[in-house]
Structure 1
Amino acid sequence: MPGRHHLFVPGPSNVPDRVLRAMHRAQEDHRSSAFPALTEGLLRDIRPVFGSTVARPFLFSATGTGMWEVAITNTLSPGDHVLAVRLGQFSHLFIDTAEKLGLKVEVMDLEWGESFDPQAIGDRLAEDRAHAIKALLVVHNETATGVTTDIAGLREAMDAAKHPALLFVDGVSSIGSLEFRQDAWGVDVAITGSQKGFMMPAGLGMVSLSPTAMERIETAGFKRHYFDLRPQVLHNDQGYFPYTPPLAHLFGLREALDMMQEEGLANIHARHARLGEGVRRAVAAWELRICARDPERRSNTVTAIVVPDGKDARHVIDHAYRRWDMALGSGLGRLNGKVFRIGHLGDLNEGMLLGALGLTELALHDAGIAVPLGAGVAAAQRWYRESE
């Protein structure tokens, strides 16, 4: 089909031409005396994206799923008791990883689309007077439902409970797009990947550990090899990696960080908020329901849209892909067939998103969901014009 494919899943996101050009280069010696300049610059410049000046970042040839394992195996021990909140597919998979690695996971279950009350977690931690709970596992931005968690409020509740549990936060679909303040929020381990806010192909896992979490590396009881942070520390301190790094991804990250610095993190966060609100106004004009029930906790990077009873969201997604050359996100887990998702993160502007909304209206009609053509686009247009 002529023209460009329209990618509006919530990851992988669109890769800018600048990043593609930076990645398209001849390989070079990753043991040369010149290589540390690249490594040191990346590890320095990624820190502000995590919202930290004191935490230590690490880069792996992996994805966010691998970074879950890094977080757990480098700071905890088999059999440790952890508390986790399940409110969507990715929090479910985070829990599944912890259980398969041998942790005792206490789960607080919520309806998918709900957001949790930080105070409920604070109350549970306050009950744990023996401090048996060693860590709290949460997802900042649940990609399956489009719910963004109040991490600042969660830290306040943890501090009020005077509980020493480590705070692990999955920020795969938030870091680089939404405000993330690792230091201010007291996040001990922040986890993300390259394929969303960093505007790169999947394949580069990123994790950032607070000084408290770094102290646990030597005492963690898990067996580790590839994901062991100790050789990473040794080699990163000299500007290298213990294993052959994904060179193309490192050069892509260098360009992506340059682009983020040029725009400014505050502007990036504001842009995502503005674009996300346009999508939400379009959904309201279609008279459809957003999966995330609390308007204050709706994500600025992904919107999960519930189709009417008797309709199948998979048909909307299939028509969008086959007839209109656009990829929309599918419903995951228990939401399969019930929602479709529009990803609005990364290298994105108003024109791109207005095109996506227009094609979504066509796909909805193809699937027998007769939203008024042009209504969503017009609602988003009005918002983008008003909010300049």
Structure 2
Amino acid sequence: MLQLDSHPSGRHFLQIPGPSPVPDRILRAMSLPTIDHRGPEFSALGLKVLAGLRQVFQTRHPVVIYPASGTGAWEAALCNTMSPGDAVLMYETGQFATLWQKMALRLGLVPEFIGEAGTDAATGLPLSWRRGVQAGLIEQRLRADSGQQIRAVCVVHNETSTGVTSDIGAVRRAIDAAGHPALLMVDTISGLASADYRHDEWGVDVTISGSQKGLMLPPGISFNALSPRALAAMASAKLPRAFWAWDEIVEMNKGGYWPYTPNTNLLYALSEALDMLLGEGLAAVFARHQRWAAGVRAGVKAWGLPIQCADPAVYSPVLTGVVTPSGVDADAVRRLIHQRFDLSLGTGLGKLKGRMFRIGHLGDSNDLTLLATLAGCEMGMKLAGVPLAGSGVQAAMDFFAAHPAPAALQAAA
């Protein structure tokens, strides 16, 4: 039986790339009494969070909220738009793109998985897991689809397993250049509210996301942001759907309600998170995450270890993957760090298992949180005998000192 009172003193450092640390302000909002989900007070809450989410997704169109994980929102995106046997083009950027592809197979679709071929000579890791989506490969494949049998293109915006953020605007331009009618579906489960994301401007038809990353909430709610084309696709889609069906939800959302019992207390939390994010301003939120990420990467580079993302143009602002030297079990190092310093880091997933660990820099964090995280990593790697070129902690300190946050500059003035 789990003994919750056996936790060591101090706060646990949750520096995985999600679930992210939840601010106390949001935890307090969740503790409010549950209200009638058919009453007028709930309607006001529902309308508020739906309007706020449209701002975060940067869309004028409906956003559907499910009491489910991001995996549920993946399924909702496919079953509302596809029919059995439909061809979908999916791009391999990491473990979560792979899991989405496996779901498509289980739903009776015919996914074609493409990606950059080859292995990185320096690390022995797959090239497609170290770089973002190569939009030219998508355009090339769509041009070859003369019968336009491919019904959707599915890509991951911020690949949580690798720390790579792809250029979604470039994917839309590739689809348009090929003159292809395929829907564009994008997973930004770990990117939303941490990395810039523009559902309407980038011409996305279905965007999938979840609560436990940049929105700073516990797991338990997920989202589909929709385009008019996506809603129109429902008319001919034949995959079974009931709970996931958009039409009834969108209709009831007009009054602030849902056709089932929603997760009331997580919606309280979402309301508070939206107040925090929109009050700060999305541009400031994105800049804050970019600054944190740059500070962490400065530390990793000082250690002399490779960053999992091999293309600086698409470094993730959400997490940084750290590749350990050949022969070093990254999971063993990660377990040592957790045991000695009460610090949780993300494990290597899929093809990267044992080769890297992941540092999350999102949620309820700040400069000192990240410096402590780097200190735990540095001490743990030294205890594990991992050779380091220099101090990542000092490098990050130097970066943050030389690049103060705007709020710090205002306070000093």
The answer to whether TM tops 0.5 is yes
1:300 to 305, 313, 317: 317
CA distance in 2, matches of 1:183, 1:129: 27
| Residues 1:352 and 2:369 aligned together | yes
CA distance in 1, matches of 2:331, 2:141: 39
CA distance in 1, matches of 2:102, 2:224: 19
Structure 2 match to 1:184 = 201
Which stretches in structure 1 are left out of the alignment for 5+ residues?
Answer: none
CA distance in 1, matches of 2:115, 2:102: 13
| Residues 1:35 and 2:42 aligned together | yes
Structure 2 match to 1:15 = 22
How far residue 34 of structure 1 moved from its aligned partner, in angstroms, is 2.3
CA distance in 1, matches of 2:59, 2:401: 34
Residues 232-251 of structure 1 aligned to structure 2 (within 5 Å): 232-251=249-268
Residues 323-338 of structure 1 aligned to structure 2 (within 5 Å): 323-338=340-355
2:338 to 298, 321, 327: 321
| Residues 1:209 and 2:216 aligned together | no
CA distance in 1, matches of 2:138, 2:363: 31
Deviation string, structure 1 residues 134-181 (Cα, Å, up to 9, x no partner): 100100011111111111111111111111100000001101100001
CA distance in 1, matches of 2:382, 2:110: 47
1:287 to 304, 313, 320: 304
TM-score of the pair, normalised by structure 2:
0.92
Q: Secondary structure at the match of 1:10?
A: coil
1:194 to 192, 211, 215: 211
Query: Cα RMSD over matched residues?
Result: 1.1
| Residues 1:378 and 2:378 aligned together | no
Deviation string, structure 1 residues 26-62 (Cα, Å, up to 9, x no partner): 2111111222111111111111111212x21011100
CA distance in 1, matches of 2:14, 2:113: 34
The amino acid across from 1:94 in the alignment is W
Structure 2 match to 1:87 = 93
Q: Secondary structure at the match of 2:154?
A: strand
How far residue 289 of structure 1 moved from its aligned partner, in angstroms, is 0.5
Identity fraction in percent: 45
Deviation string, structure 1 residues 223-253 (Cα, Å, up to 9, x no partner): 1111111221222122211111111100000
Q: Secondary structure at the match of 2:114?
A: strand
TM-score of the pair, normalised by structure 1:
0.97
2:75 to 69, 73, 77: 69
How far residue 372 of structure 1 moved from its aligned partner, in angstroms, is 5.7
CA distance in 1, matches of 2:273, 2:237: 33
The amino acid across from 2:401 in the alignment is R
| Residues 1:362 and 2:368 aligned together | no
2:160 to 139, 143, 146: 143
The amino acid across from 1:68 in the alignment is W
Structure 2 match to 1:134 = 151
Structure 1 match to 2:33 = 26
CA distance in 2, matches of 1:116, 1:198: 24
CA distance in 2, matches of 1:211, 1:378: 50
Q: Secondary structure at the match of 1:79?
A: coil
Checking the alignment, whether the CA contact within 8 Å between 2:62 and 2:250 is kept in structure 1 is: no
Checking the alignment, whether the CA contact within 8 Å between 2:35 and 2:42 is kept in structure 1 is: no
Deviation string, structure 1 residues 76-98 (Cα, Å, up to 9, x no partner): 11111110011210000010111
Figure out how many residues of one structure are paired with residues of the other and give that number: 386
Q: Secondary structure at the match of 2:45?
A: helix
Q: Which deviates further from its counterpart, 153-162 or 3-12?
A: 153-162
